[in-house]
Structure 1
């Protein structure tokens, strides 16, 4: 991609033109304006004056921002004693680098509790005293996270078999 000889940086690959910078007196190379396609293995080779070489391999992973998620009702069954609901959390871009965490919170508390499921879909059974709780889906990758929540699922959406619920996005 580039060579650095006698304090002179020469960019070899056009895609890095204007994005490379030498730092620390030639000991570091900075790639600016990172792009997803910059991900990959990079080799740094230093050739010493005696012609010996030292090579280091670097794995660069570039992550995109997490898109705003939505929660969708994938099915609901309700009677006077139970509300069984399936919820799916999704984003406009589903990649393997996204992970999902589900939390829940009752109206009268400030803290959230972890729901024991880490996939994009949960199935929950609620009794009437829990029908007002807030359910939160957190979508994250190593550099960004977004969340969305819905409340009163069984009260507001209880008469529908399949419902799309657009929750409110909030930051924790």
Structure 2
């Protein structure tokens, strides 16, 4: 009522016309839907579509071979049949579609390339669901199509980290983990290698049920070996690559050993300092107690 305060009759007349148009559209749908019972052929097809959040998707009806009959009218809706919402109607010869529902949600993001296509831009996760369309041809012939749309989030950057490194005089045993931080969808993880012999690839199969974990044993004499992790969902993928020579090199092993030995030395030094400080405090305490006992003896 707030929008009708300035021109009450004009506002309610506009609303009444919209309701009448909606009723006419529903009657047209019901009439065309019931026509196939009189012998007019009807086709129903289901199509699954996958798209990425922020991208666009085209809902397009592909005509059958030899189908060149002009479409007179098309309807587009959203939701399953039990909770279907009529979105818009497109009539041949009319430039702009006629909207009936969810106009605020879709109108600024919907483009109508032709009578049998609908494109939705700037997709969100909430756009996932079932869409349907119905085309009416001359003589009442119908084609109905249902589109099942799944909108996925973009895949975050892939990351590889070494969780375990064990180096012997001849071999480097590495356990790697791959993943994508902050991923909301369930992601697939696959591994690829470059420069790794086939027999070593077989030894490097994942040692756990987690496909994101890979264990590899590499001879130190084997140069230029790299592993690539690919993290993907049905519409997007990211990858990361690590050179095993950087992990397994003797220099890096020596560096890690030096750091470890330095940490051990620092720990020993800290323990020694704590012991020395404790001994000093104990000696000071004994000296103070001896002085107190001396004073008590003199007073007596």
Aligned position for 2:109? 19
Partner of 1:40: 129
Higher fraction of strand: 1
Distance 2:90 2:241 in 1: 55
Residues 1:144 and 2:236 are matched in the alignment: yes
Partner of 1:64: 153
Distance 1:42 1:157, change over 3 A: farther
Tell me the TM-score normalized by structure 1: 0.71
Give the gaps of 5 or more residues in structure 2. 1-77, 79-86, 258-300
Relative to the length of structure 2, the TM-score reads 0.43
The residue number in structure 2 matching 1:76 is 165
CA contact (8 A) 1:11 1:17 kept: no
Distance 1:73 1:17, change over 3 A: same
Partner residue of 1:168? Answer: none
Question: Is the alpha carbon distance of 1:15 and 1:157 closer, same or farther for their aligned partners in structure 2, counting shifts above 3 Å?
Answer: farther
Aligned counterpart, 1:154: 248
CA distance in 1, matches of 2:108, 2:225: 52
After superposition, what is the alpha-carbon deviation per residue over 1:106-142, rounded to whole angstroms, capped at 9, x for unaligned?
39xxxxx997669211111112123652221122333
The alpha-carbon deviation at position 55 of structure 1 amounts to: 2.8
Aligned match of 1:4: 89
Report the Cα offset of residue 69 of structure 1: 0.9
DSSP-derived class of the 1:130 partner: coil
* 2-structure distance, mates of 1:44, 1:31: 14
Identify the residue that residue 119 of structure 1 maps to in structure 2: 211
Counterparts of 1:126-141 in structure 2, within 5 Å, are 126-130=218-222, 132-141=224-233
Closer, same or farther: CA 57–104 of 1 in aligned 2, 3 Å: same
Q: Which has the higher contact order (CA 8 A, sep 6+)?
A: 1
Structure 1 contact 20–30 (Cα < 8 Å) conserved? yes
**Structure 1 stretch displaced more, 148-157 or 51-60:** 51-60
Match of residue 99 from structure 1: 188
The number of equivalent residue pairs is 153
In structure 1, the residue corresponding to 2:122 is in which secondary structure? coil
Bigger helix share: 2
2-side partners of 1:91 and 1:125: how far apart? 24
Contact 2:116/2:135 (8 A) holds in 1: no
> What is the CA distance between 1:62 and its match in structure 2?
2.2
